[in-house]
Amino acid sequence: MTYLESGTSFDRKRLQDIVDALPLQLHGKGDILLRQGDLSSLCFFVIKGCLRQYFYDEKATEQTVEFYTEGEFFADFGRKDQQTKSDFFITCLDDSALIVGKSDFEQNMYEVFPELKELNLQLLERKFGKVQHSFAAFKASTPEERYTSLKNSRPDLLTRVPQHQIASYLGITLESLSRIKKRLSRLS
């Protein structure tokens, strides 16, 4: 409800109607919400918890793509309306409360609550801008700069996510991450 209150001008009754219609699911730490190779038609909005998006490459090495925390969402846009297999796993790193939907549910919600379409568009625009910025910064930065950026922009991840997953997300080995952290701690 807090997210909807901050992003809209809905009255309290309308907000409650929307919240009551949302499919809230509770998942435990370690639950796999989507497997690489499964048909993907779900989207997830994190109310509470942390999700990890990852895949296994051709060498069977786990590659972390993104973490999703409170107020963020995951949708496999390239697969949304297709009968195509997912390229990713989505796993709960914490006990999580999620709104889980399918594209047909989304369309029904827009019919009942047309103002949600504008809110969703704003959310998508912000997410797309963030992804563009993050990708460009990642490509142009050194591993140490990536770590510093993560530490400054999402410090909560450094304590709630295992370090080997942080290293994978940064595109480095766990040993390199340890060296970077040690070097930076000496400088501060």
Helix runs in 40-173, H state only: 103-112, 115-140, 143-153, 155-160, 163-170
CA neighbor of 45 nearest in space, from 106, 108, 113:
106
Amino acid at 122: Q
The model's pTM: 0.83
Structure tokens at 125: 């625009």
Look at residues 2, 15, 1 and name the one whose alpha carbon lies nearest to residue 115. 15
Report how far residue 18's alpha carbon sits from residue 66's, in angstroms, rounded to the nearest whole number: 28
pLDDT band at 1 (very low <50, low <70, confident <90, very high): very low
- The yes-or-no verdict on residue 53 having pLDDT over 90 is yes
